Amino acid sequence: MLDIRLKAGLHVAALSIICLFLWLISSAVVALLVFSSALLAYLFSHIFWLNKLLYWFKKPALKEIPQGSGLWEDIFNALLKYERNNHLNQIKLNSALERFNLTANAIPDGLVILGSVNEIEWCTANAENQLGLDLTTDKNLPIVNLIRDSHFIAYLYSEAYNEPLKLKHCRNSDATLEIQVIPLASKQKLLISRDMTQLEKVDVMRRDFIANVSHELRTPLTVVGGFLETLSDMEGAVPDNLKNYFTMMQEQTGRMRRIIEDLLTLSTIENSTGNSNNNEIDMLSLLKSIQNDAIGFSQGLHQDVKNAKHHIRLDADSELNLRGSLEELRSAFTNLVSNAIRYTPTSDAKNSGEILISWHLQDEQAIFSVRDTGIGIEEKHIDRLTERFYRVDRSRSRETGGTGLGLSIVKHILIRHQAKLEITSILGIGSTFSAKFPKARVVKKPAAVK
């Protein structure tokens, strides 16, 4: 900029010196004439180059940039440099975009970018195939106009995308998709569709296998268990020196039977499609019967320990009921209560053996919880407790008749009721297991008139 100004100043200065010289050697009129014609020529040359620049801007092409002369040579050179950089950046940008498109299209999942009103901004070929979209015609159209599944529409508008949604493949009704929405900055969303058909098939095979094996094992085990019981009941049938082995055999068949029963329960729950039923459950009577069973279970467990017993208390909101499956919920709650009993020692002088079953409403959610003063659980185990056969204390679990499947059953039952299991525990102090049920399952009974 400074260069150009300097050059223009020099031009004007040179012209002024020439005119001054002409004035000295001839007359003022001649000098003025020369000065004004030179200025006119100077002005015309600028108009000429400005016109060229304007013309180039109408059809800007790198090769067509004029050469220019004088001041304009610098301007056109700067323009050429700028355009060359632009051109290089454009090439880099195009190749990055091409690489991004190639990579995105190579991902087996379908990707869709949605705008602030869920209009389609961009999508990959797999998304087009799985969701039945066509970017060339569907761009900027709201996705809910194209995917009309009511569950999908509810999921998209719910803005609660913690869990993925299952959806039928648009071009293959036997295939299942998993839809996950991830909110992006600036109100955009990334929708990921994943073909789950293969995984679902493997999962169905796994569940069928477990259910079939458990079924096949149940009958021979019942027969063996039956014979063992008959023999031990028959006077003199078992020699005294073999009685211990007999008792062990009976215990082990009993254990195997419990594992098989739990495996069958788990596969029945897993194989039941859809949500559990919606019957209103009289929670107070359910919880009272669970409390009574728990007292009996505690006495059975500690028959041999003198004066040892748990204090099992119930604190329930009598006006609060729940919609769901009575059998499933009885099984889930019983599992939590029996765990509290099994993992809460009573012979321990430090331990009072307190177990509190409570049922309350909190922030519109109904909460069933079991608090014990038992052995507690180390923090690192808590996330894994609902895995099948995961046990912190294997020998205690076996001694008290555990199968390692109880919390897994609880988790699946709660999922079917859209509920969540929360576990808090302090090692050596006790644990609290809480099942939180959503508002939609809560029934508030009108208060009884006194």
Residue 314, beta-bridge partner list: 357
Q: Which H, E and C letters describe 379-441, residue by residue?
A: HHHHCCCCCCCCCCCHHHHHHCCCCCCHHHHHHHHHHHCCCEEEEEEECCCEEEEEEEECHHH
Give which of 413, 402, 407 is closest to 258, Cα–Cα: 402
Percentages (nearest 5) of helix, strand, coil residues in the chain = 55, 15, 30
CA distance readout (Å), 345 to 71, 297, 302: 97, 14, 9
Name which position in 114, 385, 413, 435 contacts ligand ADP (CB under 6 A). 385
Rule CB under 6 A: choose which of 168, 211, 393, 418 binds ligand ADP.
Answer: 393
Residues in contact with ligand ADP, total (CB under 6 A)?
21
Decide whether 377 or 414 has the Cβ nearer to ligand ADP.
377
Return the residue matching tokens 């407790």.
385
Q: Does 193 bind ligand ADP (CB under 6 A)?
A: no
In a 3-state reduction of DSSP, which class is residue 129?
helix
Cβ–Cβ < 8 Å for 286, 326: yes
Token digits of residue 74: 């610098």
Binding ligand ADP by CB under 6 A: which of 22, 407, 414, 419?
A: 407
Given the complex with ligand ADP, which of 312 and 385 has the nearer CB atom?
Answer: 385
321 binds ligand ADP (CB under 6 A): no
* Nearest distance, CB of residue 243 and ligand ADP, angstroms: 28
8 A C-beta contact, residue 409 and residue 335: yes
Q: CB of 433: closest distance to ligand ADP in angstroms?
A: 6
Return the number of the residue (124 or 431) whose C-beta is nearest ligand ADP. 431
339 in contact with ligand ADP (CB under 6 A): yes
Q: Which of 375, 413, 421, 435 binds ligand ADP (CB under 6 A)?
A: 375
In angstroms, how far is the first alpha carbon of the chain from the final one?
A: 94
294 binds ligand ADP (CB under 6 A): no
Helix extents (H) in 272-282: none
Tell me which stretch binds ligand ADP (CB under 6 A): 134-142, 153-161, 307-315, 336-344. 336-344
For ligand ADP, which residue of 297, 343, 359, 437 counts as binding (CB under 6 A)? 343
Amino acid found at 269 = I
Work out how close the CB of 339 gets to ligand ADP at its nearest, in angstroms, rounded to a whole number. 3
CB of 382 to ligand ADP, least distance (A): 9
CB of 262 to ligand ADP, least distance (A): 8
Q: Is 66 in the site for ligand ADP (CB under 6 A)?
A: no
Alpha-carbon torsion 166, 171, 175, 177, what sign? negative
Runs of H (alpha helix) within 302-353? 326-342
* C-alpha–C-alpha distance, residues 84 and 355, integer Å: 79
Rounded to an integer, what distance in angstroms lies between the CA atom of residue 281 and that of residue 15? 105
Among 372, 413, 416, 435, binds ligand ADP (CB under 6 A): 372
Applying CB under 6 A, does 257 fall inside the site for ligand ADP? no
> Are 229 and 152 within 8 A, CB to CB?
no
- In a 3-state reduction of DSSP, which class is residue 357? strand
Residue among 259, 397, 411, 413 that touches ligand ADP (CB under 6 A):
397
Residue type for position 392: V
Supply the minimum distance, in Å, between the C-beta of residue 404 and ligand ADP. 4
Q: CB under 6 A: which stretch of 105-113, 285-293, 325-333, 385-393 binds ligand ADP?
A: 385-393
For position 377 contacting ligand ADP by CB under 6 A, the verdict is yes
Residue selected from 110, 324, 353, 374 as contacting ligand ADP according to rule CB under 6 A: 374
Q: In the bound complex, what is the minimum distance in angstroms from residue 362's beta carbon to ligand ADP?
A: 21
DSSP state of 285: H
Q: Which is nearer to ligand ADP, 131 or 409 (CB)?
A: 409
Phi, psi (degrees; rounded to nearest 5) at 109: -75, 155
Minimum CB distance to ligand ADP, residue 258 (Å): 9
Q: What distance in Å separates the CA atoms of residue 203 and residue 315, rounded to the nearest whole number?
A: 40
Identified binder of ligand ADP from the candidate list 118, 321, 431, 434, rule CB under 6 A: 431
Stretch that binds ligand ADP, among 40-48, 92-100, 147-155, 389-397 (CB under 6 A): 389-397
197-205, 291-299, 305-313, 391-399 -> range binding ligand ADP (CB under 6 A): 391-399
* Maximum CA extent, the chain: 155
Give the footprint of ligand ADP on this chain (CB under 6 A).
339-340, 343, 372, 374-375, 377, 385, 390-393, 397, 402-408, 431
